[in-house]
Structure 1
Amino acid sequence: MNYGLEGRVALVTGADSGMGFQTATLLLREGAKVFITDQYPDRLEAALRQLRPLGQVDGAPAGLTDAAAAEAVVRQATSAFGTPDILVNCAGITGKQGDFLEATDDDWMEALNTNLMSAVRMARAALPGMRAKGWGRIVLVASEDAVQPYADELPYCASKAGILNLAKGLSKAYAKDGILTNTVAPAFIATPMTDAMMDKRAAERGTDKQEAIESFLKEERPTLELKRRGEAEEVAAAILFLCSAQASFVNGASIRVDGGSVASIAT
């Protein structure tokens, strides 16, 4: 399949590992020029070393916790390869877990600032260049938790519900400018974030990591019908499609990559 991405400029956040890294990999293989960012310089440089043999790639560390950081990343990407045609926002954290009554305002703001506001800032910084080109693709990473909240992850769930609303709003506001905005909604993907969750669970239960994963699937995700963690590459494949010319009539949609975890038919 020809994805029509040869020569396109893509900006991928949260790309030093996991879904962001795999998305950058697939975009490079399709001939896109890719600029990646993440907050840890050493991890980012390690990712760049792995990606450079695949094509034209560069990157810069950024935390995306304020508007100036997001604007700087877009400027750096533009300086490296030209105005971004594609924005994929994978930056995110799990945030505070546990009893709702134990989560402080600061805990809530950390999740909202990192998961939702990083997407707001990046879209706001990237959109003017896309409008000038008359073509763009924005893909934001949501979660099953956005439509199927879990009581012990409410700050994260709320932040991801905000991603769905943000993407839908952008899809209505900028389609006339040739910019399509969509989301992917993963569930329990094998990434450093869920690795940390499972390591913590294993330690708390005095088990190994594999047993922690199996018990989590059984007890916490009984509707995840495939009974396994997803792979970052499986999410990246959906993101690649949404970035491509093949998705030219897909706008305001959310593609679930969740192994059947969301129990309802509603988005």
Structure 2
Amino acid sequence: MNIDLTGRTAVVTGSTAGIGRAIAEGLGRAGAAVVINGRTEKRVSTALRELRELLPKTEFTGVIADLATPEGAAELFAQAPDADILVNNVGTGRWKSFFEIEDREWIDLFELNVMSGIRASRHYVPNMTKRGWGRVVFISSESALAIPKDMIDYATTKTAQLAIARGLAEVVGGTGVTVNSVLPGPTNSEIMGGWAQANADAQGITREEAEQQFLKTNRPTTLLNRFATTEEVANLVVYVCSEQASATTGTSLRVDGGVVRTIA
């Protein structure tokens, strides 16, 4: 299969590191012009430099904007007014007891993980439908289906993304625009990889041992028996954004290493 996105423009939110960075690279390798996004000049400029060195023939541009705010979203839209592909990737999570999460923390997480994708989709999708082609992908999580007891707020936002993606797919049905969700499992992203390394350092064990410890304790149903790489997640996203995936819409696609024990 030859995925060719030449002539397409992709916006990938939260793409200076981790899964978002891998998605930006994957789309660039497929020929798309890619807009990357981050909250600080340092992170955006570093990611741009690395991507341009890696793929000198690909057009990469960067937008510094905090998409947890309406003002940040407006800045993104001003600098990148149109897109054929939108990957709503930006987000974060934390381990915290349900009883310790304050109202403001719930709202802040919802603004970043959910409202960022709502605002971006509301802006970019209408032009996609006018052109008769577009791809929207929400990066959710296996936590949307298998709710971890110590990340209930995070899981709630990820489940909300599934509802938005399905509903939006219904809205744009028959227009040539597809809307899907991709659900990674434990992945060597910036957040998870950093946590594993910190845990390894604290216990005096290797990072691989820390990962195995996490999987046995928190994701014992894994069939992969290791963390996925960001590239493995990006591979599925690039396919979903391709012409070849034109009949795939309104669905949730898992790249979770078999963590969620369901056949559907």
Q: Is the 8 A contact 1:10 1:86 kept in 2?
A: yes
Q: Gaps spanning 5+ residues in structure 1: where?
A: none
Q: Which residue of 2 aligns with 1:72?
A: 75
Q: Which residue of 2 aligns with 1:114?
A: 112
The AA in structure 1 aligned to 2:261 is A
Does residue 94 (structure 1) correspond to residue 85 (structure 2)? The answer is: no
Q: Is the 8 A contact 1:71 1:125 kept in 2?
A: no
CA distance in 1: counterparts of 2:100 and 2:202, whole angstroms: 19
1:1-267 correspondence runs (5 A): 1-53=1-53, 54=55, 55-78=58-81, 83-95=82-94, 97-202=95-200, 205=203, 207-266=205-264
Q: Is the 8 A contact 1:14 1:38 kept in 2?
A: yes
CA distance in 2: counterparts of 1:248 and 1:105, whole angstroms: 41
The alignment partner of 2:172 has SS state of helix
Q: Taking structure 1 as reference, are residues 221 and 101 closer, same or farther at Cα in structure 2, changes over 3 Å only?
A: same
Query: 1:255: how far off?
Result: 1.1
**Range moving further from structure 2, 211-220 or 179-188:** 211-220
The alignment partner of 2:148 has SS state of coil
For normalisation by structure 2, the TM-score amounts to 0.93
**Range moving further from structure 2, 61-70 or 220-229:** 61-70
Q: Is the 8 A contact 1:70 1:125 kept in 2?
A: no
Query: 1:130: how far off?
Result: 1.4
The AA in structure 2 aligned to 1:27 is L
Q: Is the 8 A contact 2:185 2:256 kept in 1?
A: yes
The AA in structure 1 aligned to 2:48 is L
1:40-83 CA distances to partner (integer Å, 9 max, x unpaired)?
A: 221111110111241111011111022332233133124xxxx3
Query: 1:26: how far off?
Result: 1.3
Q: Is the 8 A contact 1:38 1:44 kept in 2?
A: yes
Identity of aligned residues (%): 38
1:16-56 CA distances to partner (integer Å, 9 max, x unpaired)?
A: 01111111111111111111101122111111011124111
**Range moving further from structure 2, 171-180 or 232-241:** 171-180
1:173-207 CA distances to partner (integer Å, 9 max, x unpaired)?
A: 01233211001100110011102322453466564
CA distance in 2: counterparts of 1:77 and 1:98, whole angstroms: 35
Q: Which runs of 4+ in 1 moved over 6 A?
A: none
CA distance in 1: counterparts of 2:108 and 2:211, whole angstroms: 26
1:82-124 CA distances to partner (integer Å, 9 max, x unpaired)?
A: x3100011101013x2321111112211221111111111111
CA distance in 2: counterparts of 1:90 and 1:246, whole angstroms: 22
The AA in structure 2 aligned to 1:170 is L
The alignment partner of 1:264 has SS state of coil
The AA in structure 2 aligned to 1:201 is N
CA distance in 2: counterparts of 1:200 and 1:31, whole angstroms: 36
CA RMSD of superposed structures (Å): 1.6
The alignment partner of 1:175 has SS state of coil
The alignment partner of 1:189 has SS state of coil
The AA in structure 2 aligned to 1:166 is I
